[in-house]
Structure 1
Amino acid sequence: MADLQYTSLDSIQDAVTSLRVNFDTGKTRGLDYRKFQIQQLYNMVAHNEERIYEALAKDMNKPRSEAMSGDIAPVLEECLYFLDNLDRLAKEEKIKPRLALNSREIVKVRRDPLGVVLIIGCWNYPVQLSLVPLVGAIAAGNAVVLKLSEVAAHTAALLTDLFTRYLDQTVYRIVNGAVEETTSLLTHHFDHIFYTGSPAVGKIVMNAAAKHLTGVTLELGGKSPAVITPDADMKITANRIAFGKFYNCGQICIAVDYVLCPASRVDDFVKAFSATIKEWFGENPKHSKDYARMVSVRHVDRIAGLIENRQSGGIVFGGDVDRDERYIAPTLITDVKFNDQVLMGDEIFGPVLPVIAYNELDEAITLIKKNPPPLVLYVFSKKQKLIDRVLENTQSGGVCVNDTLMHQAGKFFWELKIKKRLISVGFPLLEYSLPFGGIGNSGVGNYHGHRSFNAFTHERAIMQKKQQLEFLMKVRYPPYTSGNLSLLRTFMVTHPYVVYLKQNKGPIRAAMILIILLILYLKRRA
């Protein structure tokens, strides 16, 4: 077990108070200061990659490739994005006034930091889900309390140690602990709370924030389905669903939670999926170096309970459990009923994949809509009209068509041996420019890239008027008269004739062109 020291409740109080005082001095606002701290965060991760790999392996037996692509690369890429783009993002935006009365005034939007913000990370990607939002908060000029997940204890202990060496503790502070410490944090007033985790805890966070009228960004989860249409290439589909299910042992909020497969193609899917698992992990995945582990025995017991107590379906392969090693075998269960409250009640968050057969695509769409909108919807099809049919009749935080996970993160890496040296080679497979966030039960707000900056920024509207032409301004002052009202209406409400011209500018322009051509024609004949 990692030596993770929990933060005392008195220290939490002191941290929040101290950060508020230091934020009020304006220390975090300078762009050069922000860039330096982002560069330091980049260095913290880049200089300590090996230690991070070791910590993630201790917590979840996370394969090096998955640790790089899922935890390290997204943080490095986000830091580089803001180092390249912060000047542009933070620049005041000049606005063209809509009212003629304001045409000579300065109208602009200033992007100010929200203040002291709280970020609550998650254990399944303890580096990415803690540090990526932190980059955005720093870039926006905030002071930050970062609450790491105590479940991934080795990684939390390492990040806590590194944090004090690289980042300014007067405005950025880490808090460690469990329920008691998190509960204490939530009693304090923050200017924004960013939480990644389950919908159940998300409701607690939102309720605590409401007491201070604090804004929130909630990155939650849900039962994300993969819909296979009859025309799909089953081998490719099996590969990509397997990747989206067993990456990090299924402990990912955008994992495929269940599959909706045409009844006529279930056997094809099972055959292809079984071959994929055998090819990737061998006859016994327990011995594979490329298969991660559950983060704790408690999570092992929970997944084992789902398998043992399911109300429908039969195990095609998997189902093996080793509590001591925190191992759950990759498990495929077919003939699952949608109303199975064990397998289909809550998000699985582990390496168990239920398959539900359907006869018509509309039936699959109806089943998806019975659940709250998921964080992501996966569709596998060669026909655009079928893809569009699913998208037009469902809701989800995001969508990935004919692949899984790739809409969410930064780069994918392979390790190559060149002249006996081990080199990581990366290429941009995963798309980090898209907004990442849920809808309804799967989340509130989104982030990544400039959207992270927006999440931690207040757009401050500014109008700066000159102290001139006061005789014109008198029209708005009491005593009010019918003449002044008429004049105000002229300035402030668009005349119906102007509205008509705007709405019909296409036909009017065409008519004018025809009139001009007719005049030219008549002149030539004269």
Structure 2
Amino acid sequence: MEEVENSLGKLRQCFRSGRTRSVAWRKNQIRAVLKLIHDKEDAIFEALQQDLGKHPVETFRDEIGVVKKSANYALSNVKKWMAPKKQPVPLLFFPSKGEVLPEPYGVVLIFGSWNFPISVALDPLIGAISAGNAVVIKPSEQAPACASFLANILPLYLDDSAIKVILGGANESEQLLQHKWDKIFFTGSPRVASQVMTAAAKHLTPVTLELGGKCPAILDSLSSPSDMKVAVKRIVGGKWGACNGQACIGIDYVLVEDKFKSTLIEILQKYIKRFYGENPRKSGSISRIINKNHFERLQNLLKDPFVADSIVHGGSLDEEALYIEPTILLNPPLNADIMNEEIFGPLLPIITVDNIRESVDFINSRPKPLAIYAFTKDETFKRQILAETSSGSVTFNDALVQFLCDTLPFGGVGQSGIGRYHGKYTFDTFSHEKTVMQRAFFPELEPRYPPWNDFKLKFIRLAYDFDYLGILLLMLNLKR
């Protein structure tokens, strides 16, 4: 507690000094992030290999590349983002002018995640420093090599008076939450998010919560076998290709018409074999389960005998190696845990419906997901999905790619999250938009002041209803 108190005091002192507000400071810190990931690429590869068994290609795609892209985008745009934005002011207020001025919140707290421990720490950091904040990063203790990397390396590159890393587990997180922050950014589970939000409420601290949920993929009948193969290939990538299913935006289950189930399973098996070979465990291209607790959680999902009976591919487990084979299940019981909890692992249920449009009702019967993936060429069906479902995002004919697009916001709705980030949206998340209005001392509109009379009521009524007309009538009355 004393260490946190001292760090917070120094950060607040730094922020109050105005050090973090200049465009030069912001750009220098973003450049430092770029230099860090360039210089320490091999160290990042090694840390992700230790924590999750990630292949360097996957690490670059999902961690280093994401940070590099975000930093370059912010570096090119931060001066424009932080500039005041002029806003039109109604003629009723003439002469006057209005603008919106983005200002940093102050000292902000970022909780990282264990599944993408580098990018989900540094990507929000880029937005926070672009907005001019002082920052504390709390990496996930479940990815200890990456947490240690951030704690040891960030102070060598970034301004240690304004940006700090605090290590620890649940106890340290609870201690951090006892303090007053100007903004909290959390990535993780809804269960922990509720604790973060409860703690933040004591200080009326705004929060951004990036959570998860059971993200469905809808597979419609497609016009050609080649389209179907591409769709299923992207489903495999969206399930097992990102941290072996341990991703909040990963595909949780697939909805397909009953008549296409055999075709779907056959093509899924084909691409699993093509991507990961006969023995995925030895492929070197698939991440392991993060730790024993998560392994046991996934193992328990399969212990239900009715769930086990639904396995049509895979199902082998190796607790010592923290390995679970890519596993496909066909119509597991809808009341089983596997269909009511976010899976966050390499298990893929397939749920069949008689008509693919029934998938809309199925999705709506469950909490709002972070993402919906729909593989279809039917424009009417697309419009139905957009109009009749609610989710953080909808992606047609692909999976996970929306996460990489800096010009689109990323975030959830309902149980899948609060707030959004990526690109300018991260800058906005860590900024308060301050309204600024400037007026002259003349003319002075007397009808705004007592004593009240019928003329002043007519003037105010016209001013609200017609604005320009009200002012003209006022001028005519004043002339009389």
TM-score of the two chains, using structure 1 as the length reference:
0.86
Against the structure 1 CA distance between its residues 497 and 101, is the aligned structure 2 distance closer, same or farther, given a 3 Å change threshold? Answer: closer
- Report the alpha carbon displacement of residue 45 of structure 1 after superposing the two structures with TM: 1.2
1:361 maps to: 356
1:475 maps to: 447
- Report the alpha carbon displacement of residue 314 of structure 1 after superposing the two structures with TM: 2.0
State how far apart, in whole Å, the 1-side matches of 2:130 and 2:82 are: 9
Question: Do 2:20 and 2:26's aligned partners in 1 also have CA atoms closer than 8 Å?
Answer: yes
After TM superposition, list the pairs within 5 Å mapping 1:284-323 onto structure 2. Answer: 284-309=279-304, 311-312=306-307, 313-323=309-319
**1:127-159 CA distances to partner (integer Å, 9 max, x unpaired)?**
111110110000001111111111010011011
After TM superposition, list the pairs within 5 Å mapping 1:31-110 onto structure 2. Answer: 31-98=23-90, 100-110=91-101
**1:228-254 CA distances to partner (integer Å, 9 max, x unpaired)?**
112364322221111000021111001
1:450 maps to: 424
Is 1:243 aligned with 2:237?
Answer: yes
Give the counterpart of 2:365 among 367, 370, 387. Answer: 370
State how far apart, in whole Å, the 2-side matches of 1:323 and 1:433 are: 41
Question: Do 1:39 and 1:83's aligned partners in 2 also have CA atoms closer than 8 Å?
Answer: yes
Against the structure 1 CA distance between its residues 495 and 405, is the aligned structure 2 distance closer, same or farther, given a 3 Å change threshold? Answer: closer
State how far apart, in whole Å, the 2-side matches of 1:464 and 1:61 are: 58
Question: Do 2:463 and 2:469's aligned partners in 1 also have CA atoms closer than 8 Å?
Answer: no
What is the identity, as a one-letter code, of the residue corresponding to 1:304? Q
After TM superposition, list the pairs within 5 Å mapping 1:82-231 onto structure 2. Answer: 82-98=74-90, 100-231=91-222
Against the structure 1 CA distance between its residues 496 and 161, is the aligned structure 2 distance closer, same or farther, given a 3 Å change threshold? Answer: closer
Structure 2 unpaired stretches of 5+: 471-480
Secondary structure of the residue aligned to 1:353 is strand
What is the identity, as a one-letter code, of the residue corresponding to 2:144? A
Is 1:484 aligned with 2:419?
Answer: no
What is the identity, as a one-letter code, of the residue corresponding to 1:58? Q
Fraction of identical pairs, as percent: 37
Question: Do 1:106 and 1:465's aligned partners in 2 also have CA atoms closer than 8 Å?
Answer: yes
Question: Do 2:357 and 2:381's aligned partners in 1 also have CA atoms closer than 8 Å?
Answer: no
Q: Which moved more, 1:13-22 or 1:131-140?
A: 13-22
- Report the alpha carbon displacement of residue 168 of structure 1 after superposing the two structures with TM: 1.0
Question: Do 2:334 and 2:340's aligned partners in 1 also have CA atoms closer than 8 Å?
Answer: no
State how far apart, in whole Å, the 2-side matches of 1:475 and 1:36 are: 53
What is the identity, as a one-letter code, of the residue corresponding to 2:449? Y
2:477 maps to: none
- Report the alpha carbon displacement of residue 482 of structure 1 after superposing the two structures with TM: 3.0
State how far apart, in whole Å, the 1-side matches of 2:207 and 2:292 are: 31
1:28 maps to: 20
- Report the alpha carbon displacement of residue 97 of structure 1 after superposing the two structures with TM: 0.7
State how far apart, in whole Å, the 1-side matches of 2:306 and 2:104 are: 50
CA RMSD of aligned residues (A): 1.7
What is the identity, as a one-letter code, of the residue corresponding to 2:418? V
State how far apart, in whole Å, the 2-side matches of 1:198 and 1:77 are: 26
**1:18-38 CA distances to partner (integer Å, 9 max, x unpaired)?**
211221111111111111111
Structure 1 unpaired stretches of 5+: 1-8, 410-430, 499-526
**1:308-328 CA distances to partner (integer Å, 9 max, x unpaired)?**
236435222211111221111
Question: Do 1:118 and 1:144's aligned partners in 2 also have CA atoms closer than 8 Å?
Answer: yes
Secondary structure of the residue aligned to 1:308 is coil
Secondary structure of the residue aligned to 1:338 is coil
**1:155-188 CA distances to partner (integer Å, 9 max, x unpaired)?**
1101111111011111111111111000111111
**1:90-146 CA distances to partner (integer Å, 9 max, x unpaired)?**
111111211x23232131111111111111110000011111011000000111111
TM-score of the two chains, using structure 2 as the length reference:
0.94
Give the counterpart of 2:414 among 440, 444, 449. Answer: 440
Secondary structure of the residue aligned to 1:44 is helix
Give the counterpart of 1:344 among 339, 343, 348. Answer: 339
- Report the alpha carbon displacement of residue 381 of structure 1 after superposing the two structures with TM: 1.5
Secondary structure of the residue aligned to 1:356 is strand
After TM superposition, list the pairs within 5 Å mapping 1:398-409 onto structure 2. Answer: 398-409=393-404
Question: Do 1:126 and 1:156's aligned partners in 2 also have CA atoms closer than 8 Å?
Answer: yes
Q: Which moved more, 1:142-151 or 1:360-369?
A: 360-369
1:494 maps to: 466
**1:443-471 CA distances to partner (integer Å, 9 max, x unpaired)?**
101110111111111111111222333xx
Question: Do 1:224 and 1:255's aligned partners in 2 also have CA atoms closer than 8 Å?
Answer: yes
What is the identity, as a one-letter code, of the residue corresponding to 1:449? G
Secondary structure of the residue aligned to 1:408 is helix
**1:396-419 CA distances to partner (integer Å, 9 max, x unpaired)?**
10111111111112xxxxxxxxxx
State how far apart, in whole Å, the 1-side matches of 2:396 and 2:92 are: 50
What is the identity, as a one-letter code, of the residue corresponding to 2:250? A
Against the structure 1 CA distance between its residues 89 and 300, is the aligned structure 2 distance closer, same or farther, given a 3 Å change threshold? Answer: same
Q: Which moved more, 1:269-278 or 1:329-338?
A: 329-338
What is the identity, as a one-letter code, of the residue corresponding to 1:63? H
What is the identity, as a one-letter code, of the residue corresponding to 1:87? K
In the alignment of these two chains, the number of paired residues is 465
State how far apart, in whole Å, the 2-side matches of 1:192 and 1:408 are: 23
1:511 maps to: none
Secondary structure of the residue aligned to 1:407 is helix
Against the structure 1 CA distance between its residues 495 and 32, is the aligned structure 2 distance closer, same or farther, given a 3 Å change threshold? Answer: closer
2:249 maps to: 254
Secondary structure of the residue aligned to 1:227 is strand
